[in-house]
Each structure stands twice: as C-alpha cells, then as structure tokens.
Amino acid sequence: MPRIDAFIPILQTAIIVNDLITASLLFSQFLIVRQRALSVLASGYLFSALMVVPYTLTFPGAFAPDGLLGAGLQSTPWLYFFWHVGLPLAVIAYALLKDADDRIGKSLSPPAVAIGLSIAAVITVVVGLTLLSTRWDSLLPKIMLDSVRVNLDVRPWYGGVLQSLAIAALAVILFTRRSVLDLWLTVMCCAWVLELLLGTTFVSARFSLGWYASRIFSLAAAITVLIVLLSETTTLYAHLARSVARRRQAREMRQAAMDVMAASIAHEISQPLTGLIANARAATKLLSAANPDVEEVKSALDDIVKDGARASEVIHGIRSMFKKELRGRVLLDANDVVRDAFTLVGVDLRMQHISSSINLHPELPQVLADRGQLQQVMLNLIANAVDAMRGVSGRPRHLRVGSNVTPDQSKVEISVEDSGMGVSQNDLNRIFEPFFTTKPAGTGIGLAICRSIIEAHGGELLASVNIPHGMIFRINLPVHAL
C-alpha cells in the first residue's frame, strides 16, 4: 500500500483525545460511586492515551526520518507493545475488582486523593517505559529489521503475548459481565483481538493492508467505549434531573400540605381561644360590678370550661395522628431500613461532596415497626445532617450512620452523626419542640414528628453534641420479644 506518513499522527491524535475523554468520564464515575475497579479502568485509559504520545513522536517519518526523542529502530514497536499490554491488564483488573468492591465495600480513601495518586503513578510508568524504549532500545529484542520490515523470527512471540492478553481480557470480562459498560468493553476486546491479529500475525511490514486495517480497528476499539460512556452519562443526568424535579415537587406538595394543616390548626384553635378570652373578660366585668350576678358569672365560667375542652380536643386530634398503632407494623431488620435510606440519599451526599460511612451491627435482633414511618425518620435525620453540613468549609464534612444493640440487649440503637454546625446547649434542649428551628427555611416540625413516630413505637429519639463538631441523633427501639 502507499506510504502515508501523515496517517499515524492523524490516527493517533484521534486515539489520544478519545482515550483522555474516556479516562475523564471514568474518573468522574469513580468520584460518584467510588469503586476502585472504575479507578483502575480509568487509569488504564489514561495510560493508553499517554503511551500514544511517545509512540507517535518516535514513529519513523511522522515528524522526523528516524523519529523524535532520540528514538532507535526498536523504540516504536516496543512502545506499541507496552501500550497494548497496559490497557488489557487494566480491563482484567477492573473485571476482578468489581466483585472485590461488592464484598468489601467502596474505596475508603478520599476520591480526589485516589485520582491524584493514580495519575501520578500512570505518568511515572509511562515516563519509565519511554526511557526504556528510547535510551536502552539496543538492549531489547529486535522487532524491526528496518523502518518498514518486521523481524519474522520475533513476530510469533511478540504477537502471541499481545493476543493472549487481549483474549484473556475478553474471557474475564465475558465471565464477569453485568453492566452496559461491561458489554461494550467486551466489544472493545473483540476489536483488540482483530487489531492484533491483523497487526502482528498477518503483517510482515508497515504500510501494508493489514497494518492499515489494524490501526483502524484500534481507533474503532477506542471509540466504542467512549460512545457508550457518553450515552450512559446522558441517561444518568436525565434520570437525575427527573429525580430532582420529582423531589422538588414532593417537597413543595409537603410544604403546601403543612401550610394548609397549620392554617387549619390555627383556625380550629383560634375559635375556642377567642371564646375563652371573651368569656373571661365578661366574668371579670361581672365580678367588678357592685352587685355581681353570680349566675351570669357561673355561666361565663361554664363557657370557659367548654371552650377549653374544645381546644383540648383539637390538640388531642392532632396528636392522635401519631398515636401508637400496630396496624401496618411488621417484624423487620433495622439494618435494611438504614441501607435503603442510605441508598436514597447517596447521590445527594456525593453531589454535596460529603463523605460518608455506614457501620451496621451484623446480627441485629428484629423490631416491630412500620417500615415506611421508620424510613421517613431516617431520611429526615440524614437530610437535617446534610443541611447542617452545607455551610461547612475548611474542614471535613462527614456523615456516619450505624446500628448497634444496647448493653442490656433490650433495644436496637440507630445513630446518625454529622460534622456540621451543631447547636448550642440551650437550643439542644428545645430542638424537639414543635415549630422550633435553627434553620432559616425550616418549619420546626420535622424533629417533633420524628420523635412522635419513635415514641409511638415504644422507643425514644435522643440528641447530643458531636465532639468536636456536629450532632448525634440516636434512635432506640425496643427489641421484639419472641
């Protein structure tokens, strides 16, 4: 085929841009879900992008007759070898670490630090391999006879190693495939196998038909994963936008309902209170007369008693909404409720850049509770913790959720700890009072309702100051007696 020296710079530039974007998207996903497998895969794509740079610069005829960076005859093929070893190894590590992440949890180190260390490690490895391939290329086996012809004696093991790694990556990702990303990594591995088959086994010289075809397969393999990542990212943002809109609508509906309820309560209570005041004034006026009419005074006092009883009934009716009610309660593991609530707020925590940890007792006794009400209490406490940490800067923002059993084994304890602004000791004694709030936009009834729900379950909701910053809320629920 005709020799086109501009082919390599054009093709490799496209691969560099593609792999850098793919690495950035994968690192972004790692920031959200914090799975080490994604960090390893992102590092593999970053390695691929950076290795393409010295490969392109040292390619004979691309920028100089013998290549740049002081390259020798064997520099470019060995850079190609290292380049095509790195990414399949990263795919294999990604496939194996997915299951490890499921067993032992997410990465515990801060994601920004983990990404920084990964980038530094990749750059170090790329620089080292580049120096090995350029400064000491004479020590490496001779893959090229000249700038065009391939050493056929070396070709079998050279291509065999690369194809074996690509096939191994394909087999491992097929065996562990669970997601859309895994599916398209499988497609990419298939393209690798075809690329290496054409580029090593059936190629005896550069600029042949097989050589050109293998490079085109290389670009196709790179573009495949980028397209699916962009598609998945767009879908994720669409779901997130709809979720935020639904939550905002639900919050506005709850606020409207609270406004209506508050107006209704005010209306119902204001009528007996008005009667109380009017009758009290009438009784006072009657008693101030020279000859008080005892019967009229007695009638006014009777009316006061009736109005007081009516106000008491209104308040009792409001409290009855949270009376102890066994209907709807089932035996459940409180850990399941905690995990469900933690999952629901997971995206919010990551968007607010709040680190979190969950420490659950492995063998909690069961409690008799309404799952929906208990989950609502957990969501309210976690939402309050997030609000308390929203304005914190200059120090870590961390949320801890845990479960345990009290020393006497009679109660299950669920704790929610934050490192937010906290409250003063005076406010600590009042935070469960209805309509008391320390938040500018708060209604002051969330914690009061939470305490009412927990007390209706025979438990207690306690609050204390977290040292050195923040608050700790503890839910104590009685263990169900078998």
Q: What pLDDT score was predicted for residue 215? A: 81
Q: Please tell me the distance from the alpha carbon of residue 455 to that of residue 13, in angstroms, as a whole number.
A: 65
State whether 166 and 225 are in the same domain. yes
Q: What pLDDT score was predicted for residue 40? A: 92
For residue 238, being part of any structural domain is answered with yes
Query: What CATH number has the domain bearing residue 261?
Result: 1.10.287
Q: Do residues 203 and 154 lie in contact, with contact meaning Cβ atoms separated by under 8 Å?
A: no
State whether 285 and 383 are in the same domain. no
State whether 264 and 337 are in the same domain. no
Q: What is the mean pLDDT of residues 207-217?
A: 82
pLDDT confidence tier of residue 195, bands split at 50, 70 and 90:
confident
pTM for the complete prediction? 0.57
Structure tokens belonging to residue 117 = 């260390």
Q: What pLDDT score was predicted for residue 138? A: 80
Query: What CATH number has the domain bearing residue 465?
Result: 3.30.565.10
State whether 61 and 137 are in the same domain. yes
Structure tokens belonging to residue 126 = 């790329």
What is the per-residue DSSP string for 315-372? HHHHHHTTS---TT-EEE-HHHHHHHHHHHHHHHHHHTT-EEEEE--TTPPPEEE-HH
For residue 447, being part of any structural domain is answered with yes
Q: What pLDDT score was predicted for residue 221? A: 73
Q: Please tell me the distance from the alpha carbon of residue 251 to that of residue 262, in angstroms, as a whole number.
A: 16
Q: Please tell me the distance from the alpha carbon of residue 376 to that of residue 310, in angstroms, as a whole number.
A: 32
User: 1-5, 155-159, 425-429 — which is least confidently predicted?
Assistant: 425-429
For residue 469, being part of any structural domain is answered with yes
For residue 1, being part of any structural domain is answered with no
CA nearest neighbour of 334 among 374, 372, 373, 379 = 374
Higher pLDDT: 20 or 147? It is 20
State whether 272 and 354 are in the same domain. no
Work out the number of other CB atoms within 10 angstroms of the CB of residue 107: 18
Which residues form the domain of 279? 249-320
Query: What CATH number has the domain bearing residue 162?
Result: 1.20.1070
Q: Please give the mean pLDDT across all residues of the chain.
A: 82
pLDDT confidence tier of residue 103, bands split at 50, 70 and 90:
very low
Q: What pLDDT score was predicted for residue 145? A: 85
Choosing from 259, 287, 320, the residue where a domain stops is 320
DSSP state of 400: E
Residue identified by tokens 């906290």 is: 422
Q: What is the mean pLDDT of residues 352-376?
A: 86
Q: Do residues 1 and 82 lie in contact, with contact meaning Cβ atoms separated by under 8 Å?
A: no
CA nearest neighbour of 229 among 168, 188, 193, 177 = 188
For residue 29, being part of any structural domain is answered with yes
Work out the number of other CB atoms within 10 angstroms of the CB of residue 204: 14
Q: Please tell me the distance from the alpha carbon of residue 294 to that of residue 67, in angstroms, as a whole number.
A: 117
pLDDT confidence tier of residue 258, bands split at 50, 70 and 90:
low
Q: What is the mean pLDDT of residues 342-366?
A: 81
For residue 325, being part of any structural domain is answered with no
State whether 226 and 347 are in the same domain. no
What are the helix (H) ranges across 65-154? 75-104, 111-135
CA angle 150–155–161, rounded 5-degree value: 140
Residue identified by tokens 């009792």 is: 316
Q: What is the mean pLDDT of residues 163-168?
A: 91
Q: Which of 113-127, 264-278, 315-329, 440-454 has the highest mean pLDDT?
A: 113-127
Q: Do residues 30 and 238 lie in contact, with contact meaning Cβ atoms separated by under 8 Å?
A: no
Q: What pLDDT score was predicted for residue 52? A: 92
325 has a pLDDT exceeding 60: no
Choosing from 296, 320, 344, the residue where a domain stops is 320
State whether 239 and 255 are in the same domain. no
State whether 119 and 259 are in the same domain. no
- pLDDT tens-digit map of 167-183: 999 999 888 887 777 88
State whether 91 and 213 are in the same domain. yes
For residue 2, being part of any structural domain is answered with no
143 has a pLDDT exceeding 80: yes
Residue identified by tokens 């598609």 is: 231
- pLDDT tens-digit map of 385-437: 888 888 787 788 889 999 999 888 889 999 999 988 888 877 787 888 776 67
**Domain count along the chain:** 3
State whether 309 and 214 are in the same domain. no
Q: What is the mean pLDDT of residues 227-241?
A: 71
- pLDDT tens-digit map of 41-96: 999 999 999 999 999 999 988 888 888 888 888 899 999 999 989 999 999 999 88
12 has a pLDDT exceeding 50: yes
Structure tokens belonging to residue 257 = 């309902």
For residue 97, being part of any structural domain is answered with yes
Q: What pLDDT score was predicted for residue 114? A: 86
Q: What pLDDT score was predicted for residue 168? A: 93
State whether 405 and 472 are in the same domain. yes
Q: What is the mean pLDDT of residues 94-110?
A: 64
Please name every residue paired with 355 in a beta bridge, in sequence order, or none if there are none: 398
Q: What is the mean pLDDT of residues 209-216?
A: 82
State whether 254 and 229 are in the same domain. no
Structure tokens belonging to residue 223 = 């573009």
Choosing from 216, 243, 270, the residue where a domain stops is 243
The 3-state secondary structure of 44-74 reads: HHHHHHHHHHHHHHHCCCCCCCCCCCCCCCC
CA nearest neighbour of 71 among 135, 139, 150 = 135
Q: Do residues 210 and 159 lie in contact, with contact meaning Cβ atoms separated by under 8 Å?
A: no
Q: Would you put residue 395 in left (φ > 0), alpha (ψ -120 to 50) or beta?
A: beta
Q: What is the mean pLDDT of residues 227-255?
A: 69
